[in-house]
Amino acid sequence: MLIKWSIENLITNFSVLSCHFGRSVRLLEYADDTKVSQPRSRYRDYTSEEEASWVASLSTPGYVVGSLASSFVVDRFGRRASIIASAVPMAVGTIILQIATKAWMLYMTRLIWGFSTGMFMTVSFIYFVEIADKEIRGKLSVAIRFMFNFGSFLVVSVGSFVSYTTLNRMLIVLPIGHFVACWFIPETPHFYIKEGKVEAAEKSLQLLHGCKDQNELQSRLESLRSDVKKQTRRPGTFKELFTGKQYRRAIVIVIGIKTTQIMSGSLPIQQYAGLIIQESHADIPLSAALISFGAVRFVAGIISSYLVDKVGRRPLLIVTYICTGVTLIIVGIYFYFQEVVGIDIETSSPLRYIPFVGVFLSISLSTIGYDSLVYIIPAEIFPINVKSLAITYLNIYGGLMNFLAVKGFQNMRDWTGLYGVFWYFAAFALLGGTFSFFMAPETKGKSLREILIELQGDLYEEPEERKLNGTKGDVQNRGVKESCELTELACKNEENNRNSTGDS
């Protein structure tokens, strides 16, 4: 169990940091809402509709580049230094936002924010997985998404009551809080061991896990040294990652979960939630709907942090995927009757609230399950030599897929109508549940070493080590066999002696 430092300081520091990143992704998205008029006023003074669409989508290319950049710094300068450094571009982007009077300045802000977010999201989950005990590893990792969601909720709520300029000025506090708070977090013992800094690793272990017993501390340290040695004896290269047999199952798992997570529409539905509510003709103020969506993501994040180490990763994936699929099918049926059959549901009818409830439920389910777990599982199932590289490429893949999903929403809507869009998302959600049932591993309550052994089997050891272990096993088996033979012979001799004595 993590000691007082970990619970009170690490979570507090990362809460500030994650809240700060949450608002970076969502700020201009909600400022673009026609009903949230105050944040919109100055923003719309110097952007056209086409420019605004680019502002909304440019964080994704920045996210991809930031993820790629993180792979070059996380193993050279450490997890802690990389997390602290990610505050710098965020501060630069926020400063540019204060003086923005042209669309290109907003482009720069979104690109820089995306870069910082991509860098942070890649490193943070590696950090949490490496510092946490197996009993609470999932809970601490989900805390990142939990505060990310809180950041979104905070911006939507505050942005509805203050001016666009005031909101921007308030945001500059967050990068500063991020930098200061994370200055005091410790580096992970895994990184110190990898760099050969055994004494520093020992101090970090003692700080993080509260090991007062020297025997326990040394036992943890030796176990960690052995695991890191095994995981780093192979190179951490692109070729190693994609040609090594021991990584193939992990690659299939993360690609499958990432693809179905994105194509089940969690991000497009959130970004086009206002449009969906308008098309349903439900009598709901749009600003209130957006605030409620932000609030439910925040609450769902709390629920997820509780369930992830109670229920487990695999059951959460399966249940949330399947339930989301069913929910989206129902929303699609509503729009099918509205758009194809031509049934005009009365304004006062409760049926008009089906899309709102459906979006509300899909956001809740995805946040509790696959939207949170898609970041935790990759950090758990790859060894340290290729972990940062694997997560980097996964984030790049995810960024490109998210870009296509968001940009393709409107095209698909024009082609099939909203009902077709929701059925498409539902199909991928159901596919995600099926894939998780057959492929997703359960990592709850298992050490990183146990997870790797389960995924890689005999490949977790080098051929020479397997041969040595096999030789030892053969020697032991021969020893046992010889011992049994000697025991059997001794028993026969004793019986013969008794018979001879009886005859005499």
pLDDT digits (tens, 9 = 90+) for 154-193: 777 777 777 778 888 888 888 888 888 888 888 989 899 9
pLDDT, residue 142, reads 76
Question: Using CA atoms, how far apart are residues 310 and 420, in angstroms rounded to an integer?
Answer: 36
State the pLDDT at residue 323: 97
What is the DSSP secondary structure assignment for residue 151, as one 8-state letter? H
**What is the distance between the alpha carbons of residues 46 and 40, in angstroms, rounded to a whole number?**
11
- CA nearest to 407, candidates 111, 59, 28: 59
CATH of the domain at 67: 1.20.1250.20
**Average pLDDT across the chain, whole number:** 79
Query: In this structure, how many other beta carbons lie within 10 angstroms of the beta carbon of residue 312?
Result: 16
Question: Does residue 211 belong to any structural domain of this protein?
Answer: no
Q: If you average pLDDT over residues 297-320, what whole number do you get?
A: 90
Both 53 and 172 in one domain: the answer is yes
Farthest-apart Cα atoms in the chain, separation: 120
Q: How far is CA 191 from CA 37, 153, 197, 220, 411, in A?
A: 48, 34, 9, 15, 46
Reference 130, options 80, 73, 195; nearest CA is 80
462: left (phi over 0), alpha (psi -120 to 50) or beta: beta
* Mean of pLDDT values over 242-248: 89
- Nearest-angstrom CA–CA distance, 378 and 375: 6
Q: 167 and 306, same structural domain?
A: no
**pLDDT score recorded for residue 492:** 53
Do 117 and 62 lie in one domain? The reply is yes
Mean pLDDT along residues 339-351 = 75
Whole-prediction pTM value?
Answer: 0.75
Residues 390 and 340 in one domain: yes
Residues contacting residue 329 through CB under 8 Å, at least 6 positions apart: 422, 423, 426
Q: Which amino acid is at 170?
A: M
Is pLDDT above 60 for 378? Answer: yes
Residue 197 covered by a domain? no
Q: Is 218 part of a structural domain of the chain?
A: no
Type of residue numbered 352? R
Do the domain assignments include residue 364? yes
Q: What is the pLDDT of residue 28?
A: 40
Does residue 310 carry a pLDDT above 70? yes
Residue 4 clears pLDDT 50, i.e. is over it = no
Q: For the ranges 108-112, 281-285, 413-417, 442-446, which has the lowest average pLDDT?
A: 281-285
CA gap 331, 312 in Å, rounded: 29
Pair (131, 33) in one structural domain: yes
- pLDDT number for residue 48: 66
Q: Give yes or no: residues 335 and 351 share one domain.
A: yes
Q: Note the pLDDT of residue 286.
A: 77
pLDDT of residue 433 exceeding 90: yes
Give the pLDDT score at 16: 42
Are 442 and 302 contained in the same domain? yes
* Per-residue pLDDT tens digits for 386-411: 888 898 889 889 888 988 888 788 88
Q: Are residues 456 and 466 in the same domain?
A: no
Coil, strand, or helix at residue 2? coil
Its sign, for the CA torsion 368, 374, 379, 382, is positive
Asked whether residue 341 is domain-assigned, the answer is yes
Asked whether residue 203 is domain-assigned, the answer is: no
Q: Give me the domain span that covers residue 47.
A: 1-185
Please tell me the predicted confidence (pLDDT) of residue 436: 96
Whether 225 maps to a domain, the answer reads no
Please state the separation of Cα 356 from the chain's center in Å: 26
**Res. 498: pLDDT tops 80:** no
pLDDT at 472 over 60: no
pLDDT at 82 over 50: yes
The pLDDT value given to residue 12 = 41
The mean pLDDT value for 362-386 works out to 90
Which range of 328-332, 382-386, 410-414 scores highest in mean pLDDT? It is 328-332
Tell me the pLDDT band of 38, cut-offs 50, 70 and 90: very low
- Greatest mean pLDDT among 310-324, 400-414, 464-478 lies in 310-324
The pLDDT, as a whole number, for residue 365 is: 95
Give the other-Cβ count within 10 Å of 464's Cβ. 8
Question: Where is average pLDDT lowest: 71-80, 182-191, 201-210, 445-454?
Answer: 201-210
In a domain, 159, yes or no: yes
What pLDDT is stored for residue 132 in this prediction?
A: 76
The pLDDT tens digits of the residues spanning 39-53 come to: 344 555 556 666 666
Is the confidence at residue 210, as pLDDT, over 80?
A: no
How many Cβ atoms from other residues are within 10 Å of residue 195's Cβ? Answer: 14
User: Are 420 and 465 found together in one domain?
Assistant: no
Q: Are 444 and 138 in contact (CB under 8 A)?
A: yes
User: What's the total number of domains in the chain?
Assistant: 3
For residues 48 and 502, what is the distance between their CA atoms, to the nearest angstrom?
113
* 367 and 289 housed in the same domain: yes
CA torsion sign for 330, 336, 341, 346 is positive
What's residue 26's pLDDT? 44
Whether residues 471 and 451 share a domain: the answer is no
**Whether residue 370 sits in one domain with residue 301:** yes
Residue 494 pLDDT > 70: no
Distance from C-alpha of 204 to C-alpha of 210, rounded to nearest angstrom? 10
